Amino acid sequence: MHAARRARLGALLAERGVDAMLVSALPNIRYLTGFSGSNALLLVTGATATLLTDFRYATQVKAEVDPAVEVLIAPDSLWTELWRILGRQARVERLAFETAHLLHQEAQRFLAAGAEGARWRWEPMVDLVEGLREAKDPGEVAEIRAAIAIAEQALGATLPLIQVGMTELAAAGELERALRVAGSEGFPFETIVASGPRSALPHARASTRAIARGDLLLIDFGAIHRGYCADITRTFVVGAPPTDRQREIHALVRESNGSASALVRQGMRGRDADALARDYIERAGFGEAFGHSLGHGIGLEVHEVPYLVKGDRTVLAPGMTFSNEPMICIYGEFGVRLEDHFHMAADGPRWFTRPAHSVDDPFGYEA
């Protein structure tokens, strides 16, 4: 699997007339080799791959990386070791690097070091490996599905514990504990628990605010399984029946979510999928309250290309995996976001999560 991915990257490099590529983004390194450590560089040519890491991962790297990859444990700096191995690459003249993932300080360092008598020329590249990652293979789809199952199990365990008077931070703590118990390797982003007026903040942090009776509570959280992410949002009322206003807005967002769920298809562009939900909300008179994009790719990163957003021209293809998360933000009052996940199949979307939940019950349906 990893060898096939590296071969595809090698073919792309050859098409661009590039001899090798330095991969520095850790999710891309994991995608190409299986290595999950926190410090690594990967040099890929058309026929070879060399992974550099440090002594902390000397054992782990043997278990995770296939034997076709040369593994070097750098005695000092990874960059020092890089110059050493580049010196023996007689056929490398044009060397690509990931300009989006390299700190300016690091780029300056290796450009300066490489300039002294070096024969190679650095070529900035953007989203080359990310483009390969857009379409998930069946194994990746299974890992995402497992991550979402963990997230839904954790939410189910947490909901009975949420009560009026509990702080947002306490609710987030209960959810994060449940995620670990259910098997999540970590949290792909900071858990969002936002109640009442704070639910209108698209990326609010959990606070010391106590959840009040009748509040809309927005929970946006994720799980990680074997490196692959889940990202789910549920919004519901705590401790009281929903008001007519809460029910109206929640139903509008749910129907917008459902419109995208039913109509998104292979061959659409990202902007067209976004419009399926956005147009529905705009026709209802809440277009200005939908500043959010419809969705984003999800995989080894919780937000990755491609995106379902206004202006995006990416053609949706089989294997692509997305969130579907329309939101209406009425600042000073409340906000509603409902986030589900699907992957594209030739005959339409296949859903990971069970969408169309009600304002009364994050796992239920409303007739």
Read off the pLDDT of each residue in 4-33 and give the average, rounded to a whole number: 96
The pLDDT-based confidence of 216 (bands split at 50, 70, 90) is: very high
Give me the pLDDT at residue 365, please. Answer: 45
DSSP of 5-51, one letter per residue?
HHHHHHHHHHHTT-SEEEE--HHHHHHHH----SS-EEEEESS-EEE
- Across the chain, the runs of DSSP E, i.e. the strands, are 20-23, 41-45, 49-53, 70-73, 94-98, 121-125, 192-195, 216-225, 228-237, 295-297, 304-308, 321-324, 327-330, 334-337, 340-345, 348-351
Give me the pLDDT at residue 145, please. Answer: 95
What is the distance between the alpha carbons of residues 222 and 199, in angstroms, rounded to a whole number?
Answer: 17
Phi, psi (deg, nearest 5) at residue 49: -145, 135
Read off the pLDDT of each residue in 230-251 and give the average, rounded to a whole number: 96
- Is pLDDT at 313 greater than 70 in this prediction? yes
Three-state SS at 351: strand
Closest CA to 160 of 181, 175, 149: 175
Q: Return the half-sphere exposure (C-beta side, CA atoms, 13 A cut-off) of residue 170.
A: 11
User: 2-133 adopts what CATH topology?
Assistant: Creatine Amidinohydrolase; Chain A, domain 1 (3.40.350)
Q: Share the mean pLDDT of the chain.
A: 92
Read off the pLDDT of each residue in 297-319 and give the average, rounded to a whole number: 95
- Is pLDDT at 148 greater than 90 in this prediction? yes
Give me the pLDDT at residue 88, please. Answer: 81
What is the distance between the alpha carbons of residues 324 and 328, in angstroms, rounded to a whole number?
Answer: 14
pLDDT digits 0-9 by tens, 40-95: 999 999 889 999 999 999 999 999 999 999 999 999 889 889 888 888 877 888 88
Read off the pLDDT of each residue in 262-278 and give the average, rounded to a whole number: 94
Q: Could you tell me whether strands 334-337 and 321-324 are parallel, antiparallel, or unpaired per DSSP bridges?
A: unpaired
Residues 52, 76 contacting (CB under 8 angstroms)? no
Cβ count within 10 A of residue 180: 14
Q: Between 345 and 25, whose confidence is greater?
A: 25
The pLDDT-based confidence of 364 (bands split at 50, 70, 90) is: low
Residues 48, 19 contacting (CB under 8 angstroms)? no
138-351 is classed in which CATH architecture? Alpha-Beta Complex (3.90)
The 8-class DSSP code of residue 199 comes to G
Read off the pLDDT of each residue in 317-329 and give the average, rounded to a whole number: 95
The pLDDT-based confidence of 367 (bands split at 50, 70, 90) is: very low
The pLDDT-based confidence of 359 (bands split at 50, 70, 90) is: confident
Give me the pLDDT at residue 89, please. Answer: 79
Closest CA to 313 of 347, 349, 257, 268: 268
Q: Between 338 and 354, whose confidence is greater?
A: 338
The pLDDT-based confidence of 164 (bands split at 50, 70, 90) is: very high
Task: Give the range among 109-118, 324-333, 337-346, 349-358 with minimum mean pLDDT.
Answer: 109-118
Q: Where are the domains of the chain?
A: 2-133, 138-351
- % of the chain beyond a pLDDT of 90: 77
Q: Return the half-sphere exposure (C-beta side, CA atoms, 13 A cut-off) of residue 161.
A: 16
Look at the alpha carbons of 32, 34, 38, 41 in this order and tell me if their dihedral is positive or negative: negative
